[in-house]
Structure 1
């Protein structure tokens, strides 16, 4: 099985598990989120081993904040008296997944100038644009189909760019730690931090927008 096939199969399994957990909600979703946060913290601590206390605390917050955000979105997202938890959670997923897919294929098909070669030599400006456009279109379609707040049409491209910033941050951490991937448990993807770096950002920003009354 080639690398693309491995990545596609692993991604399909992750998507299926995430959507099933999102639909089930309750303890099922909470356990999945908690397990993911624990793996993220383990990988973070392994990468920053020997660093100062600030990095240890930073890893705890990096794992905790998105976990709380996802749980709050799923169970507490109410806008204008309507509960939109499941729909908004799926919007978070779509926004993040579309970035990864669009950036991967646009980067491979178009190539061109590198985005940040000193951090991640494989990322290109074409990938950034492709990921942002894909996310805006797919998240926008979901927003329209489910009648989510119209502010999400505007927020999607900005959150998509922020997700790619999260990806670059995690790439910088790996370079600093001298490792290729944060882990090896997921074929074609690496570890939990490799797969969830964009979701961390989008989840926290969406929860902040909801809490701040932007939706």
Structure 2
């Protein structure tokens, strides 16, 4: 496949995924929970294969995550976190007697996959602001990824972390953060409406959410680098091959993993909403 053909495939698949995600967020309820849970189950399968975790424990991980998603949707996020943490600890301890090193990665994988799932389900379930906040979180991640990709290709320059991901550059990272800031400012402006003359609170709100967007963009970049480190450690190029032009599910949503958790924590602790 040529470079231009690969880029076109990447854009088409990426656009299709965005449409599906936005539709699921809009409908909410079972549609959103199902999409998030399926994505997490696929990501968990990739994680287990990447770390050489056997089929029995791989299946156990899928059962735990599916059950945790149900608890998050039907009960509460706190209950879901308790179920996830307890299951990760118990499975890790049980596997420790067979394989101490992989036991850690089994437990870590459950937390890595499960926490963002709980965070997204909780965010979408918030009354009045659930749709807006969830779309905003996804949009910031998408903007960061798109901005970093095209800025990095256009400018190039110094490598961001050559030992981990040789293709990522500082220019791309800065472009991703700038794109996220612009996206955050635009979404906040649309959410709060036009600025009234002499009212600085609107501008302050836009600035606050732009700063949050910048922080989340950095988290997305770190999440991307972390997944690159995992792949380099495992000696694989992609986490999978399910998504043409993107690789695996983990390759596509690695930046969303920390962003979803941080965004949910920010909302829960501060109660800030547009």
**1:14: which partner in 2?**
17
**1:112: which partner in 2?**
157
Which structure's CA Rg is the greater one?
A: 2
**1:123: which partner in 2?**
168
Aligned-pair CA distance for 1:153: 2.2
Q: 1:99 aligns with which of 128, 132, 144?
A: 144
1:86 aligns with 2:131: yes
Higher relative contact order (CA 8 A, sep 6+): 1
Q: What aligned pairs does 1:157-176 form with structure 2 within 5 A after superposition?
A: 157-176=214-233
Which ranges in structure 1 are unaligned for 5 or more consecutive residues? none
Provide, for residues 25-73 of structure 1, a one-character-per-residue CA deviation record: whole Å limited to 9, x for no partner: 0001100011011011110111111642111111011111001100100
Provide, for residues 60-89 of structure 1, a one-character-per-residue CA deviation record: whole Å limited to 9, x for no partner: 11111001100100012x5xxxx2110000
Aligned-pair CA distance for 1:202: 1.0
SS of aligned partner of 1:212? helix
Give the TM-score, by structure 2 length. Answer: 0.74
State the 4+ residue runs in structure 1 displaced beyond 6 angstroms: none
Cα distance in 2 between the residues matched to 1:207 and 1:110: 34
Aligned-pair CA distance for 1:214: 5.2
1:206 aligns with 2:263: yes
1:31 aligns with 2:42: no
Aligned-pair CA distance for 1:140: 1.6
**1:64: which partner in 2?**
114
Aligned pair count reads 210
**1:177: which partner in 2?**
234
**2:125: which partner in 1?**
75
Say what the alpha-carbon RMSD is for the aligned residues: 1.4
Cα distance in 1 between the residues matched to 2:185 and 2:7: 27
Cα distance in 2 between the residues matched to 1:170 and 1:161: 14
